[in-house]
Structures are given as structure tokens and as C-alpha cells.
Amino acid sequence: MSTITAGQVEVTYFTDPLCCWSWAMEPQWRRFRFEFRDRVQWRYCMSGLLPAWNQFQDSAHAVSRPAQMGPLWMEASHLSGMPINSAVWALNPPASSYPACIAVKCAQAQSFDAGENYLRLLREAIMLHGKNIADVAVLFDVADYLSAIMASLFDAERFRQDWESKEGVAAFRNDLAEVRLKNIKRFPTLLFRRQDKAPMVLQGYRPYAVWLQLLQQLSPDWKPQKASSLDVYKQHWLNTLEREEKELPAESWLQNPEPTSR
């Protein structure tokens, strides 16, 4: 666990590339990282949502086989407004989320930003394009794409080497151990920590107002850093979807200095 700088908040995000509710909450998560970028640090803990179908049972949503996952994804899309390709569960369902989690850890081995961007592209691959991210070929394709558009950030060949050497497996096992230690049962779960405050937890899909209420308890004096225009906000990210752009209300476009990239 990294040391929290005095006055900062650290967020541990327990998630999984296959988690539809994490994808549904991308607009809130992005807005939070943008508006409090100078005061918040964060890290991702891969949670191994789906070891294998014979080891998976989501009694809360009555899901125990691939075909039953589609309606849950449709619900997440309807509630959040985020586009989700639920047909993958009928056409080419992933057998496990473990390969994708391991791939994220391989990307993280190169840098924090490499891991974060790889995770986003992996989510897009399945949520938008219906790709089976349990397929190693898909994982490598995503790596190749990230390397092509951000060559200075990410090396696809090193990613392959780390994959073949099981570099990501040990890191993923550490993540799974942390999930068990903290008894995380629901995804997404975000753990907020500040030096002088008791940790706080946000579980499941929540609107941004709930995020702000939680932050108000941790840091009541904090004010969000607004973007000067929609273009400034879009340039902060690799790419944005319409729903993500709509997360910020029109009054957000204040004449503030342009943000520095993280």
C-alpha cells in the first residue's frame, strides 16, 4: 500500500474488466479523477469476478450461466446510459475473467498509465465491440493497439514477454489475496482513505452525487476543478463516449486553467 500524502485521498478500486457495473460507472469515475486530479491518487485491484462458470454463482441477480448474464448487462446499460454489447453472452461468451485480469497486471508492470489505458481499452473491447476478452488473441490485439497509439507509453512486445513468463500471474494473485483480506464481495467497490479519517467505502453503481457526499465527509473544504471547455475534458482522456461527456453539466465549463495530464 502506498503512503498517502498529507491532505490527499487514496482510492483503491476493486474491479474487473468483465464487470458491467464498473463500465456503467466510467462516467462518474472519470469525472471524479478529473475534478479532483491533484488531490486524489488511485490504484486498481483486479478482483477475479469470474474464475470459471463452474465456480461462479451470482444469487443476487440469478446468474449462473452465460446466457443469464446478457439481461444483467442490458439492465446496466439502461440504468447508466452507457452503451453495452450484451450479445457477446449469446455469441461468444468469455469462459473466465482471469486472463483479462492477468493481462491488466502485465500492462501495469510497465507503468501506472499503461495499466490504466490498457484496462480502459479492454473494457471497450468487450463492452462496445463484443470481443471475448478471455481469448489471448484479443488480449494481444488490445496490447498491439495501445502500443500503436501510445508507443512511448506501452511496449506490446514486452507485454507478450511478461505474459509468457507469467509476470502478471503473481501480481494478480496478490490482488486476489487483498480482495479476500478486505472481504470484498461486490463489484465495483471503492475504498477511500485519508490519513486523519476513517476509511470509507462506496459499493456498486452510484450516481455522482453520492461520490460528492462521501468526499464531503472526508474533505469538506475541497472544491472540484472544472474544465474550461468540453474539448479540454475530452483531450484529458484517450477517448470519450457521449454518455461520459454528458456526465459533466453545462455549468462545468468555467474559465479555469487547462489541466495538466496525469
- The pLDDT assigned to 259 comes to 40
Tens of pLDDT along 123-168? 999 999 999 999 999 999 999 999 999 999 999 999 999 999 998 9
The mean per-residue pLDDT over the stretch 94-109 comes to: 98
Is residue 30 situated within a structural domain? yes
- Average pLDDT across the chain, whole number: 92
Is residue 258 situated within a structural domain? no
Number of domains, the chain: 1
pTM of the model: 0.92
The pLDDT-based confidence of 57 (bands split at 50, 70, 90) is confident
In this structure, are residues 227 and 38 in contact, taking their beta carbons and an 8 Å threshold? Answer: no
228 vs 127 pLDDT, higher one: 127
Is residue 228 situated within a structural domain? yes
pLDDT of 17 over the 60 cut: yes
Q: Give the closest residue to 39 by CA, choosing from 244, 228, 218.
A: 218
Helix, strand, or coil (residue 14): strand
Write the CATH number for 200. 3.40.30.10
DSSP symbols for 146-181: HHHH-TTT--HHHHHHHHHTTHHHHHHHHHHHHHHH
pLDDT of 74 over the 80 cut: yes
In this structure, are residues 79 and 63 in contact, taking their beta carbons and an 8 Å threshold? Answer: no
Is residue 2 situated within a structural domain? no
Is residue 241 situated within a structural domain? yes
The pLDDT-based confidence of 107 (bands split at 50, 70, 90) is very high
Domain of residue 68 covers: 9-252
Among the listed ranges 8-17, 101-110, 176-185, 245-254, which one has the minimum average pLDDT value? 245-254
The pLDDT-based confidence of 261 (bands split at 50, 70, 90) is very low
pLDDT of 256 over the 60 cut: no
Max Cα distance, the chain (Å)? 54
Is residue 4 situated within a structural domain? no
- The pLDDT assigned to 1 comes to 43
Is residue 1 situated within a structural domain? no
Is residue 257 situated within a structural domain? no
Helices (H) and strands (E) in the chain, counts: 12, 4
